[in-house]
Amino acid sequence: MSFILRRISTTKTGKQIVRDQPLPGASITLGRDGGNTIHVADLAVNPQHATISSADGRHVRVQASEGLGFDLNGRTLDIADIDSAAGAELRFGGHRLTIAREGENIILLVERIDELSQSSKDVDEARAFSLAAVMPGRRMGAWAFALVVLFAFLVGPIWAWHSYRSVDVRPQGYHADKAWLSGPLSSAHASLKNDCQACHVDAFVAVTDKACVGCHTGEHKAMSASHADASTAMLLAARHPPGVGEKVLAGFAKAFNKPQGRCVECHTEHEGAGPMPLTPQKFCADCHDGMASRLKAAGFKVDVADAGDFGTAHPEFRPLVRAAPGAKPARAMPGTGPLVDYDGLKFPHDVHLAANGGVARMAASFRGQYDFGKKLECQNCHRPDADGVRIKPVVMERDCAMCHSLAFETVGGVTRTLRHGEPDQVVADLYAYYRSTPPSRPLQLGGMERRRPGQYAEGQLYNIYFREVAVRPNRAADAVRAVFSKGGACYDCHTIFAPASGNNWRVMAVNQTPRYLEKGWFDHDAHKATKCADCHTAAPGSKAASDLLVPGLRQCRDCHVGEGGARLVKVETATESPCAMCHEYHSDGGKPWMPARQRKVNSAAITHKPLAAIYDVSLITGTEGRGLYDVTWRTPSLHGARRGG
Amino acid sequence: MASLFPRRLLGRRNRATQTERVRERKHEGFLRYANFRWAKISGGLCLLVITSYALIDVTPRPNGGSWYGYTLGTIGALLILWLTALGYRKRKMTRDAWSLKAWTSAHVYLGLSLVVIGTWHTGFQLGWNVHTLAWALMMLVILSGLYGVIVYATLPAALSNNRDEMTQMQMLEAIRAFDRQLHAAAQPLSPEDTAPVLASLDEDPFAGGIRARLTGRYPKDATAAALRALSLAHGGNADARQKVIGLLSQKEAALARLRAHLRIRAMLEIWLYVHVPLTFALIAALSAHIISVFFYW
């Protein structure tokens, strides 16, 4: 028996050369050290690693020394007994020792099976040197990302839409299609933010008017009267020829089934939280800018002037006026001379607003009694409505009677006045007064003094008095005539018709127009920080009641410019004014809707204007001039019934 | 031949080839291609978008749903698809007028113009939704691409300096050689001294994650550890140890060169791991964006 060490080397051509070397002795050593019988040049092997011995020439004992063992069948051992006939593979570091039996000999085959070092291993250059070795593949990343996005933002939302198709109101909570929300909803619709389907009912169908009027019944249901009356052909003819942009948009709209003329075209949503934005000027100006010529060209009757922008292209106002005494109210046609409005009254504003003169002195004399200043101011006679939008018509008893008294008698401290507005009653009252009251008795007729004859003679006191008593009832006719004639109480303010066949004294009817601008909406409340005369510039100089004192476009344009700031005149503090600031689309005559934040008027700049010359009340009354709304309500000398008593 | 190819056509072709040759001789890169032709086109496009945005009055407020928004959105979406097609185009080798260089130049500059087109398309209305997600992904893709352009312009010089006229495989081969020498030189060492050497041999020069690749820092480096351990060791075969220490420091220098190379390559490549996957995420988000707009029309 002997150990034979077998070495196998491979030639360049791949041919294997086997060399056997008999090893002397029954015990051989294995290790890295050169002195070992089997020298293994492997750093993972100890210098004296193991002893291999055989007592019977068949069984081999392998015993490790120095603590480092060897591997046999996957287990690390320090000692192993091996039947060489069965054979075994042992592992020392990077080398394999195969024990086998050939005839009487025990063959020991030693081969290097591991690479010398990690770096010696074969590498795929393209992969090892690039990031691909340490990163997950780009392709995988692309798929993963794309699928995640598609599921979360396309499949999810469609699924959410699908699962609530037949549900009226969605439950609270998160719905995947919220990820599609293109912008916050306006405050009015904020509660719908979880329920896209409340408006977006069907897939790929643009929001229909049906979805709007489902909730918005009433005035929102219809177009304005003037637009509803217009035929479709007329509406189409009114539209301005589309530009490049609109052609693009129309192309998109047509290609993707988005009908035009729906509510949402003007009432745009998803434009940000807060109130829905005011309908922009463009939606009106698209048709109204240059509309007259287009309508005329299409053969329609034109009765609306062109309007494109308040600052630059807006027709002059056409207030409702009575062009002649007693005429029917009609919208004025500006450009044909000064505007007049006959309301039946005689009232010179200049006299009443003058800083000095009889009226101012009279007002000053009433300062303790009424809230007059040193002169009359607009608000002493003109009162705002309860909501502050308009100015109430003047009521004689309340607004004039402080000075223009109709008192004619005092009975027991109570003043009797003529009845205003009832000329027949006035006549009757005066007749009754003269009939029932004697002329004041002269002092000489009183007392117990003896009366002497001769005192009844013509021209003497008794004669005069008793004659007066006899004719007094007849004096009533003179008094009535005096009241209705020049210098009389009625004649001062009213146009009087003298009695004619069958008619008594008549007073021309007074018609105070409650609202001059019917197509637009003017809100005095929004302008309360402004002085009256800033807009009603003609008032302090007006000599006749027939002067129309409603401000024109020019006064408005002192502050109001177009939506985009367009203007024709120099404006210090501009208020951008889209059409919808004054014009209401759905209900003519109603108050135009405007978001609360836009309703705030930048009037501070207007009120801080340098004091403007002669119209300025505060020059006289002091800087704390009363505004229209600061008036303390005085007790008016109202008719009992009107006072509610 | 003359009848097959009219002279005029041949002449034009020759001129085009001639221009191309000049370009190649001058090493004109994709950034300078054709005297910045695509930079000019893209800059002009941006200028057009910005000025027209300022001039065109979109009511009630600028947003993606106005006609101008639709126009920009359509241009942007088509541009995104075309830019993505570079990945396809670069795998098709041609030498005609639409060279890959021209294509890449257009890709870079038109891609940058997408910042303006996409952002102006939003009308500056951003929120937490799929629409803004698409915009954000687009911006990330563009920014990663911008990073890529910058590193492509600056890092190759550093890569070349570090390489010192060696190929990648030569760098690796140097390490392998040191490993073989180490293995031989360490044979006389005691088992305690061989353990760190063995650890150094067992260390994969390409080991280390993305972090190590990008920073170039390998705190658990076995070769450096072996160097430290052997410098402190006593006894045994001191001569052999000194030889091993010398080899270890040489191996460390070779490793450092390889790792610097890997780091620069990682910085040259990392942006593509953002650029490419996010491009596909962007296309998915873009599809969701477009479909959602028409779905809830």
- With beta carbons less than 8 A apart as the criterion, state whether A479 and A434 touch: yes
DSSP H helical ranges for A298-375:
349-353, 358-365
At residue A618, the pLDDT reads 38
* DSSP H or E segment with residue A62: strand A59-64
What pLDDT score does B259 carry? 93
Query: Does A607 have pLDDT greater than 50?
Result: no
pLDDT score, position A645: 32
Helices (H), B123-237: 130-163, 168-185, 191-202, 210-215, 222-232
User: Residues near A204 by Cβ (< 8 Å), separated by ≥ 6?
Assistant: A256, A257, B294, B295, B297
pLDDT at residue number A423 = 87
How far is it, in rounded angstroms, from Cα B188 to Cα B197?
12
Environment class of A382 (CB within 10 Å of its CB; exposed 0-12, middle 13-18, buried 19+): middle
Output the pLDDT for position B143. Answer: 96
d(CA A417, CA A81): 145
Sign of the Cα torsion A10, A12, A13, A19 reads negative
Most confident by average pLDDT, A566-570, B98-102, B146-150: B146-150
Confidence at residue A513, expressed as pLDDT on a 0 to 100 scale = 87
Residue A621 has pLDDT above 70, yes or no: no
Strands (E), B33-141: none
Q: Are B102 and B34 in contact (CB under 8 A)?
A: yes
What is the mean pLDDT of the segment spanning B276-297? 92
| Residue of A384, A394, A357 whose CA lies nearest to A540 | A357
The band of B97, judged by pLDDT with boundaries at 50, 70 and 90, is: low
The two tokens of residue A635 are: 């007790």
Q: pLDDT exceeding 90 applies to what percent of chain A?
A: 4
- Contact between B182 and B249 under an 8 Å Cβ cutoff? The reply is no
A204 to chain B: which residues are within 8 Å by CB?
A: 294-295, 297
CA distance B209 to B204: 12
The SS3 of residue A65 is: coil
Chain Cα centroid distance, residue A146: 38
Contacts of A17 (CB under 8 A, 6+ apart): A8, A9, A10, A11
CA distance B267 to B270: 5
* CA–CA min distance B244, chain A (Å): 13
Residue in B176, B201, B297 nearest the CB of A258? B297
Question: For residue A165, what are the CA distances in angstroms to A158, A170, B125?
Answer: 11, 10, 29
Q: Tell me which H or E stretch contains A96.
A: strand A95-102
Which whole-number Å values give the CA distances from B296 to A228, A384, B118, in the listed order?
29, 49, 21
The answer to whether residues A496 and A505 touch, using CB atoms and an 8 Å cutoff, is yes
pLDDT band at A227 (very low <50, low <70, confident <90, very high): confident
Query: Taking CB atoms and an 8 Å cutoff, what residues of chain A touch B213?
Result: 131, 134
| pLDDT digit string, tens, across residues B270-280 | 999 999 999 99
- Identify which of A315, A346, A347, A345 has the alpha carbon closest to the alpha carbon of residue A333: A315
Q: How far apart (Å, rounded) are the C-alpha atoms in residues A483 and A143?
A: 101
| Complex ipTM value | 0.84
Helix (H) or strand (E) holding B42: helix B33-55
Q: What is the pLDDT of residue A527?
A: 85
Termini Cα distance of chain B: 60
What's the mean pLDDT in A409-422? 86
Of residues B251 and A438, more confidently modeled: B251
pLDDT at residue A639 in the model: 43
Angle at the Cα of A401 (from A396 to A403), degrees rounded to 5? 135
Instruction: Answer whether B67 sits within 8 Å of A143, measured CB to CB.
Output: no
Regarding predicted confidence, which is higher, B252 or A613?
B252
Which of A396-400, A522-526, A588-592 bottoms out in mean pLDDT, i.e. has the lowest? A588-592
The pLDDT tens digits of the residues spanning A285-314 come to: 888 888 888 889 888 888 888 898 898 989
The pLDDT value recorded for residue A492 is 84
With a cut of 80, say whether residue A429 has pLDDT above it: yes
The span from the CA of A28 to the CA of A107, in Å, is: 13
**Single-letter residue type at A630:** D
Q: Chain B residues with CB inside 8 Å of A265's CB?
A: none
More confident residue, A599 or B278: B278
CB atoms within 10 A of CB A608: 9
Task: Please give the helix or strand (H or E) that residue A211 lies within, else none.
Answer: helix A209-213
Considering only CB atoms, B281 lies closest to which of A41, A128, A145, namely A145
Q: For residue A604, what pLDDT band results from cuts at 50, 70 and 90? A: very low
Q: What is the pLDDT of residue A609?
A: 46
List chain A domain ranges.
3-119, 407-442+453-492
Cβ–Cβ under 8 Å, residues A32 and A42: yes
Calculate helix-pair angle for A138-150, B238-295, nearest 10 degrees: 30
For B253, residues 6+ apart whose C-beta sits below 8 A from its C-beta are: none
Range with lowest mean pLDDT among A551-555, A591-595, B112-116 = A591-595
Model confidence at B59, pLDDT cuts 50, 70, 90, reads low
Higher-scoring residue by pLDDT: B38, A529:
B38
Q: Note down the domain range covering B225.
A: 168-269
* pLDDT tier for residue A614 given thresholds of 50, 70 and 90: very low
Res. A151 pLDDT band, cuts 50 70 90 = very high
User: How do residues A101-136 score in pLDDT, each as one tens digit?
Assistant: 888 888 889 888 888 888 888 888 888 888 888 888
Q: Which residues contact B243 (CB under 8 A, 6 or more apart)?
A: B185
Q: What percent of chain A has pLDDT over 70?
A: 88
Has residue B78 got a pLDDT over 60? yes
Highest mean pLDDT pick, A45-49, A236-240, A570-574, A622-626: A45-49
Q: Which residue has the tokens 């006045």?
A: A417
Q: Is A180 within 8 Å of B176 when comparing Cβ atoms?
A: no
Residue A534 has a pLDDT of 86
**Pairwise pLDDT comparison (A609 vs A497), residue with the higher score:** A497
Taking CA–CA distances from A116, the nearest residue in chain B reads B180
Inform me whether the pLDDT recorded for A483 exceeds 60.
yes
Checking if the pLDDT of A589 tops 70, the result is no
B131 vs A182, A203, A245: nearest CB: A182
Given a contact cutoff of 8 angstroms between Cβ atoms, the answer to whether B244 and A43 are in contact is no
- Among candidates A145, A206, A207 on the partner chain, residue whose Cβ is nearest the Cβ of B280: A145
Asked if A328 and A475 count as a contact pair (C-beta separation under 8 A), the reply is no
The pLDDT value given to residue B131 = 93
Judged on CB neighbours under 10 Å (0-12, 13-18, 19+), A337 is: exposed
Mean pLDDT, all residues of chain A: 80
Question: What gap in Å lies between CA B65 and CA B122, rounded to an integer?
Answer: 9
- Mutation pick from A42, A182, A208, A598 vs chain B, by most beta carbons of B within 10 Å, is A182
Q: Looking at residues A363-369, what average pLDDT do you find? A: 83
Prediction pTM value: 0.67
More confident residue, A241 or A640: A241
Q: Give the pLDDT of residue A620.
A: 40
Cross-chain Cβ contact B273/A271 below 8 Å: no
- Tell me whether residue B26 is in a domain: no
Per CATH, the number for A3-119 is: 2.60.200.20
CA distances from A412 to A409, A416, A430 (A): 10, 10, 19
C-alpha closest to that of A376 among A355, A391, A396, A393: A355
* Nearest residue in chain B measured CA to CA from A40: B187
pLDDT at residue number A598: 60
Q: Looking at residue B111, what is its pLDDT?
A: 95
CA–CA distances in Å: residue B133 to residues A184, B136, B283, B289: 16, 5, 11, 9
Q: Tell the residue number behind the tokens 């370009």, with chain if given.
A: B23
Lowest mean pLDDT among A513-517, A615-619, B179-183, B198-202: A615-619
Going by pLDDT thresholds of 50, 70 and 90, the confidence category of residue B95 is: low
The answer to whether A43 touches A93, Cβ cutoff 8 Å, is yes
pLDDT at A497 over 70: yes
Do residues A574 and A581 make contact, with C-beta atoms less than 8 angstroms apart? no
Which chain A residues have a beta carbon less than 8 Å from that of B66? 245, 249
Tokens 């294997």 label which residue?
Answer: A16
What span, in angstroms and rounded, lies between the C-alpha atoms of A148 and B282?
11
Report the distance separating Cα B275 and Cα A640, nearest Å.
88
> Could you give the residue ranges of the DSSP H alpha helices within A307-377?
349-353, 358-365
Confidence of residue A622 (pLDDT cuts 50, 70, 90): very low
Within 10 A of B68 (CB to CB), how many other CB atoms are there?
23
Distance from CA of B44 to the nearest CA of A (A): 21
Contact status, residue A341 vs residue A513, Cβ threshold 8 Å? yes
DSSP classification of residue A494: B
A581 in helix, strand or coil? helix
Highest mean pLDDT among A280-289, A571-580, A616-625, B36-45: B36-45
Residue B209 pLDDT class (50, 70, 90 cuts):
confident
Q: Annotate A1-58 with DSSP letters as a single string.
A: --EEEEEEEE-TTS-EEEEEEEE-SSEEEEESSTTSSEE---TTS-SS-EEEEESSSS
The Cα of B12 is separated from the nearest Cα of chain A by a number of Å equal to 39
**Number of helices followed by number of strands (H, E) in chain A:** 21, 20
Residue where the block lists tokens 């600028």: B62
Our count of domains for chain B comes to 1
pLDDT digits (tens, 9 = 90+) for A7-65: 888 788 888 888 888 888 878 898 888 888 888 888 888 888 899 988 888 888 999 88
